[in-house]
Amino acid sequence: MRYGREAEARIFVILTLLTLAAGPGLASAQNTAVEKLEISEDLGWSVGDPEAPLTVVEFTDISCPYCSSFYNGTRASLHAEFVEGGKVRWVTLSYVSGLYPNSEALFLGLECAGHQDRYDDFLRIAYLDRETWIRANRDGVEAALENLVGQVGLDRAAFSSCRADPSVRERLKNIVALSREVGVRGTPTWFVDGFLVMGDLPHGFARHFITSRLEG
């Protein structure tokens, strides 16, 4: 699947607050719809049919261990069934929570991989190598990024130029501002048909939630 910059339709979300239940990955919905917000069209990386009946908007932090677990587990199975099946368009917004070391450096790398249409490849390999860069010093992070560039097959000159581009850091500021506006308090956080869902949910729960929105 090919990721590209979301540059056409605006994504509208009706926020319904959700709170985490007793166990990790379980959420309960409150009945109050808060407000309707417009997400700028140039912040996310989109995959799936643009005309799919349902849009999922995910906030993820590349340094977050729960995002890694979600990516390789529940998210992968949801993509296989719903995105590849043409039922869901999935929009990912890279985000830096400030909770984990080296998040910003890897954010820049991920975004710049996206500029070469290799967003998902970079994310997948970065998660596999997470323990090698998560607590590395500056030189170690740069070495890890160089290694990722080679593994993903990126153009090194274009990657370096992109990382130095002020607009990429400005993009991060805009995403962080948006995350605060819509109530993101941790990652992964994802909006299913506008309903805010927090955590690395079990597959069965997540699948039921998406199915219910498609049928509703």
DSSP state of 83: I
When pLDDT is averaged across residues 103-129 and rounded to a whole number, the result is: 93
pLDDT of residue 132: 84
Q: pLDDT band for position 49 (50/70/90)?
A: very high
Determine if the peptide bond prior to 166 is cis (ω within 30°): no
168 or 195: which carries more pLDDT confidence?
A: 168
Q: How far apart are CA 90 and CA 87, in angstroms?
A: 10
Structure tokens at 5: 């910059």
Percent of the chain at pLDDT exceeding 70:
81
pLDDT of residue 26: 37
Question: For residue 195, what are the CA distances in angstroms to 55, 56, 150?
Answer: 11, 9, 38
Which range, 87-101, 103-117, 168-182, 187-201, is most confident? 103-117
Q: Collect all residues with Cβ–Cβ distance below 8 Å to 124 and sequence separation of at least 6.
A: 71
Q: pLDDT band for position 164 (50/70/90)?
A: very high
Domain ranges in the chain?
4-215
Q: How far apart are CA 146 and CA 164, in angstroms?
A: 15
Which range, 8-17, 58-67, 155-164, is most confident? 155-164
Residue range 128-157, pLDDT digits in tens: 888 888 888 989 999 999 999 999 999 999
Give the bridge partners for 91, in sequence order: 46, 57
When pLDDT is averaged across residues 1-23 and rounded to a whole number, the result is: 36
How many CB atoms within 10 Å of residue 60? 23
- The CATH number of 4-215, from 3.40.30.10, 1.10.10.60, 3.55.50.30, 3.40.50.12280, is 3.40.30.10
Name residue, tokens 């109050």.
Answer: 32
| CA nearest to 171, candidates 39, 67, 42, 8 | 42
Name residue, tokens 């990386």.
Answer: 45
Q: Distance between alpha carbon 211 and the CA centroid of its chain, in Å? A: 21
Q: pLDDT band for position 39 (50/70/90)?
A: low
Order of all β-strands in the sheet with 45-47: 4-5, 45-47, 88-94, 54-60, 189-192, 195-198, 11-20, 27-39
When pLDDT is averaged across residues 63-83 and rounded to a whole number, the result is: 93
